Structure 1
Amino acid sequence: MRLLHIDSSILGDNSVSRPLSAAVVAHLKAAHPDLTETYRDLVAQPIEHLTGAYLAGQNSDVQHDQALQEDLALGGRLLEEFLAADTVVIGVALYNFTIPSQLKAWVDRILVAGKTFRYGPNGAEGLAGRKRVILTVARGGLYGPGTPHEAYEHAETYLRTVFGFIGITNPEVVVAEGIALGPQQREAALKSGLAAVAALPTG
């Protein structure tokens, strides 16, 4: 089994999404010792944001400058890593109601027409539906169902839309929230998240 592990939190050792995503990987490795992991830290090695030159360069045989050639090559590697993975584990932080810009830059490199989706007579069709996606989402406040700020949550909801568009309609989501409300709430949220990780199926 091939696993792609992505982290996007800018908080380093103070992150909650990072230990949760690492726990998911460890949980799966314990059941599948032959699992092959590819790891990307989008903060330590950030991806350039999408540009018009990049989009044009994808469909052009013209010789590009070195910076664009390198960017196109990186985009190709990111897409191939995603396509090759059976399981994708993503540590997701909620910043200002949505995902980190570093993660958005990665998303922009995997939503590629003809590779992960295509347009047909009935509209868009996802091409990546056989993958398993597990999101570990850390939220400083309370945004879960029934909370006053439920409608402000645009990280989990956005990623469900993104992956649904490319055919992955049932991502598994582990949430730790309220972590900015005090040490006790942070500890309880992390403990609850780790318990949810331990309950994830390994088959």
Structure 2
Amino acid sequence: MTIKKFIEELSKYPEDIDLKDVRIRLAVEKEIGYKRIKSVYLGGYRIVGGATPFGSNSVVLERFPNLGDVAKSLLANLKLPRKERAMKVKLKGTSGAPFDVIEVYPETYNGEPTIPFVQYFCDEEGTIYKDELLEFVTDGRLQTTATIKGWVAVDDFDNAYIYHSKPTQRCKEFCDTGDYITDWVCDTKYPNGKRRYVIDKHLFPDLTPESEPLKVRIQITLE
């Protein structure tokens, strides 16, 4: 199935369905006495394993995650070329002419994704730049004002960020220590490709990792 065909099939369903309200069966079959997985079913579709599921010498583990989380996981791990909108930038601290870049997704030496929320951009010659080296340009002129709308949230390290859309909390293991931390993630991006901006925590002294994100609007003007 192509992405085009997949979109056509999705268009048959109402657009206002919240996938978080839809539960789907995830079944993992393991053979007793062995660590290997025998088969995996998502809904009624076998995605791993043989044609005869759930033998007498097997144990079946079932979970019913919501379809929203399943969709997010698929999109986050979909390593395919994306359609990217070119952005005009110039190198910070230089008088060079603006040039076009697109966001890229380089991988580390072991094939795992790079650090989350760090954006990289590539020019026409294939040179890769980290976002902190670039200034974004509008209509050939540097922006003198910027308005940032978003949601402010604080993580377990007391760092504050403003996110493009209302973020959701996730719990993850910290550096294989057995300890778990809570941070915030969102699925959408600002026009320059960023998902979030760092912001001074002291501007929101009452905000904690347990607080609900705050909807804000911040305007910055160059003098």
| TM-score range relative to shorter protein | under 0.3
TM-score between both structures, scaled by the size of structure 2: 0.24
TM-score between both structures, scaled by the size of structure 1: 0.25
Greater helix share, 1 or 2? 1
Larger radius of gyration: 2
